Each structure stands twice: as C-alpha cells, then as structure tokens.
Amino acid sequence: MTYKAAPKSVVGTGCVGECGNNVTVPYMVPKGISKVAVKIEENSLCPNTDALAYITGSSIDPLVGPVFITDEGSSLMANVAAGDNIVLYVTLAPLFNGIVCIRLGTLNFHLVAS
C-alpha cells in the first residue's frame, strides 16, 4: 500500500542575527493542516551565537521547545489543529565560548505546514 505524503507549504519566514535579535511568526492553522515545523534555510551565524526557538499556541500545552535550532540535525515540530493560533518565536542566544567574530551573521528559516 502506498501513502501519499501531505503537501508541505511555507507559511512564514524570518531571520535573526544581523537582521534582528528576535522574531515572532504568527500563523492561524487552516483546515487540513496537522503539523508545523521549522526549516533552516541558511545559517551563517558566528559560532559564538546560537538561536533558540519555541512554538506556542491555543492548543499547544505545554509549549514546544525551546530548542537550539542551529545544531546540525536539530528540528522543531508541533502537532496542531484547524483554528489554532500559533506563534513561532526565535531569539539569539550568546554561547560565551570565547570565540570573537567580526560579523554576527544571519539565520534564515521557514515555518512549514503540512
């Protein structure tokens, strides 16, 4: 038996780093969507900085995260229901590891629904 994967669509985008210290991405879940996830598009953040993300919303209890999303293979996903109002919050987090950079860099991401 073959199962067809649900189509994925980008429902929000954002960045942290040189474009700002934190960002919120709101999303109202329509009918037919059951999951949202954060997908990293590009990461050029200085190694002395990480990005912390969490998803919260009307039916998400407790909140999902926080998770450092710059680690290779890291992911953040939440189950949602139609009519939910959710918010993805991403903020910079200093690592205090002694590394000094000339530029902060940028982390670009998408909020993907399926």
Split the chain (114 residues) into runs of 10 and give each run's mean pLDDT.
58 94 94 91 93 88 81 82 92 95 94 92
- Report the pLDDT value the prediction gives residue 6, as an integer from 0 to 100: 55
DSSP symbols for 12-78: EEEEEETTBSEEEEEEEPPTT--EEEEEEEEE---TTEEEEEEEEETTEEEEEEEEE-SSTT--EEE
- Report the pLDDT value the prediction gives residue 58, as an integer from 0 to 100: 83
Global confidence as pTM:
0.87
- Report the pLDDT value the prediction gives residue 53, as an integer from 0 to 100: 94
